[in-house]
Amino acid sequence: MVQVNETTAELLQLLNIQDGVTPNVLQILNESDARYIRDLKVNVGNVLVTTHLTEKESALLALSISANQKNNILIAGFQKLATEKEASVEEQNEAISCASLLAGNNVFYRFRHFQQKESYNTMQAKIKMNIMMKPVLGKEFFELMSLAISAVNGCEMCVNAHEQSVRELGATEERVWDAIRLAAVITSLDKIIS
| pLDDT score of 104 | 92
pLDDT score for 9:
82
Q: What is the pLDDT of residue 193?
A: 86
Q: Residue 89 sits in which domain range?
A: 6-190
pLDDT for 33: 63
pLDDT attached to residue 20: 64
* Residue at 49 is within a domain: yes
**117 located within any domain:** yes
- CATH no. for residue 105? 1.20.1290.10
Residue 143 lies in a domain: yes
Give whole-number Cα distances, 33 to 22, 101, 189, in Å: 15, 38, 16
pLDDT in tens, 25-50: 777 777 766 788 888 999 999 999 99
Residue 185 resides in a domain: yes
Q: How far is CA 107 from CA 52, 100, 112, in A?
A: 29, 11, 9
The pLDDT value recorded for residue 91 is 98
Q: What is the pTM of this model?
A: 0.90
pLDDT digits (tens, 9 = 90+) for 113-125: 889 899 998 888 8
* 93 within domain boundaries: yes
What pLDDT is stored for residue 35 in this prediction?
Answer: 80
Q: Is residue 1 part of a domain?
A: no
The tally of domains found in the chain comes to 1
**The pLDDT value given to residue 10:** 86
Which positions of the chain have pLDDT values less than 50? 1
Report the alpha-carbon distance of residue 136 to residue 125 in Å, rounded.
24
Q: Would you please indicate which residues are annotated as catalytic (active-site) residues?
A: 155, 158
Question: How would DSSP label each residue in 19-72?
Answer: TT---HHHHHHHHH-HHHHHHHHHHHHHHHS-SSS-HHHHHHHHHHHHHHTT-H
